Amino acid sequence: QAPAAQPPLRCGVDGTFAPHAFPALSGGMQGFQIDLFREVARRMGREIVIDSASFSGLIPALNAGRYDFLCAPTTVTPERAASLLFTEGYLFTELQFGIRRGTPPIRSDEDLRGRTISLNKGTPYESWANANRERLNLTILAFDTQPDAVQAVIQGRAYANLSGNTVVRYSASRTPQYIADYILPGTRFHWATPFRQDSAAMRNVVEDVLTCMKRDGTVARLSERWFGSRPAADQAEVTEFPGYGPPGLPGHDATPQNPSCG
């Protein structure tokens, strides 16, 4: 008797976070995350349903059992790693500001003193802004979507927009009035896949698949397609990290990986 078919995997993304996940003209979603996780599911022999929702609601929905994991690019912080299980990173992210064309470039965070910055709710960008609000006398405009945060800069309601470097660069390539500017030093993090803490077995399966996709160049090819350049040798797209999960953080399993890549 054939084994019962497994139900589709369910994951969530912010479907307004181009070029990671955003509406396709033909309907549905497109982007780096969509291609990446459709291929992960294919290699697992599973169907996948990818839902779109505001990022601020994704982790609560994951913890409530609505999703098996998140397909959204999720920044691994020590605080998040204490309550969620992550795969190793498949991309590195850095925090970067975008500004309106014609605005003097930002040379340090001191140039933000007394300014208004826009960002996406529930993200490390909001966490950074809140942590530095008093020191820099910041006014924070938090939005449900990144396009709204970019529009606030273009319209002059915010001096700068804080987001991830891939997203800022993509927005700048599509929006002539918006340019990629200052990268915050010391903000390089893993972008990885989060699971509930009771999902170690599935985390390890997904990480094994991602490792195989790094080895055969799939992650690098998708990165070049969506971000416009071949990843350098020190980038996460081509780096296999030891064990399971981001090294040095809660939830890391030092068991050596030995995936059977077909």
Integer Cα distance of 222 and 36 in angstroms: 7
Q: What is the pLDDT of residue 1?
A: 44
Residue among 194, 190, 191, 162 nearest 178 (CA): 162
Does the N-terminal peptide bond of residue 19 adopt cis geometry, omega within 30 degrees of 0? yes
CATH class of domain segment(s) 95-183:
alpha beta
Integer Cα distance of 19 and 71 in angstroms: 13
Using a 10 angstrom Cβ sphere, with 0-12 exposed, 13-18 middle and 19 or more buried, the burial of residue 97 is buried
Q: What is the pLDDT of residue 229?
A: 85
Q: What is the pLDDT of residue 228?
A: 84
Domains 9-92+189-238 and 95-183 share a fold: yes
Residue ranges of the domains in the chain?
9-92+189-238, 95-183
For the segment 6-61, what is each residue's pLDDT rounded down to a tens digit? 999 999 999 999 999 999 999 999 999 999 999 999 999 999 999 999 999 999 99
Ranges assigned E (strand) in the chain: 9-13, 22-23, 29-30, 48-52, 69-70, 74-75, 85-86, 91-93, 95-100, 116-120, 139-143, 160-164, 178-183, 189-192, 194-195
Q: What is the pLDDT of residue 109?
A: 96
Considering only 3-12, 91-100, 118-127, 227-236, which range has the smallest mean pLDDT?
Answer: 3-12
Which phi and psi angles does 45 have, rounded to 5°?
75, 30
| One-letter identity of residue 135 | R
Q: What is the pLDDT of residue 4?
A: 59
Q: What is the pLDDT of residue 262?
A: 77
Cβ atoms 20, 13 nearer than 8 A: yes
Superfamily of domain 9-92+189-238: Periplasmic binding protein-like II (3.40.190.10)
Q: What is the pLDDT of residue 245?
A: 97
For the segment 141-154, what is each residue's pLDDT rounded down to a tens digit? 999 999 999 999 99
With a cut of 70, say whether residue 2 has pLDDT above it.
no
pLDDT mean across residues, the chain = 95
For the segment 162-183, what is each residue's pLDDT rounded down to a tens digit? 999 999 999 999 999 999 999 9
Q: What is the pLDDT of residue 159?
A: 98
For the segment 204-248, what is each residue's pLDDT rounded down to a tens digit? 999 999 999 999 999 999 999 999 889 999 999 999 999 999 999
